Amino acid sequence: MVGIVVVSHSAKVAEGICELAGQMAAPGQKLIAAGGMTDGSIGTDAIRIQAAIEAANTGDGVLVIVDLGSAVLSAELALDLLNEELKEQVRIADAPILEGAIAATVEASVGQPLVAVLATAEGARDLRKR
């Protein structure tokens, strides 16, 4: 299964999104929160994101979903810290963090490949609530 990493400037936000998305996950689905700084403050930490990617890796790829633009920069730096083999199996989604994480988790849980999980997460931009 494709692993999912949720990156937010807030640890509570990342954990909450993982908690919610986890309600729809299949057993064994890797869903890792990488929010905030190591001291508990607001921000994103490339080392924390790198560790989350490594923890989420099952060999089928890892999708990273981020909250704000600067989280993309931290995620990109985290990719640079990975070994080349794993780096090739990671994608950063341009998706709404909550809807994208839930949609991606469902797609990953049914065994879809990384390209499909990425497309589903990014397709969540078009979901309407009414």
Task: Show me where the domains of the chain are located.
Answer: 3-126
pLDDT at position 67: 96
pTM for this structure? 0.96
Q: For 81-85, which contacts have Cβ atoms below 8 Å and span 24 or more sequence positions?
A: 81/46, 81/47, 81/50, 82/50, 82/53, 82/54
pLDDT at position 22: 96
3-126 carries CATH number 3.40.50.510: yes
- All residue ranges of the chain with pLDDT < 50 are none
9 is catalytic: yes
Query: What letter does residue 37 receive in the DSSP assignment?
Result: -
Q: Check 9, 30, 48, 91 and give the catalytic one.
A: 9
Under 8 Å between Cβ of 37 and 10: no
For 58-85, the pLDDT digits (tens) are 999 999 999 998 999 999 999 999 999 9
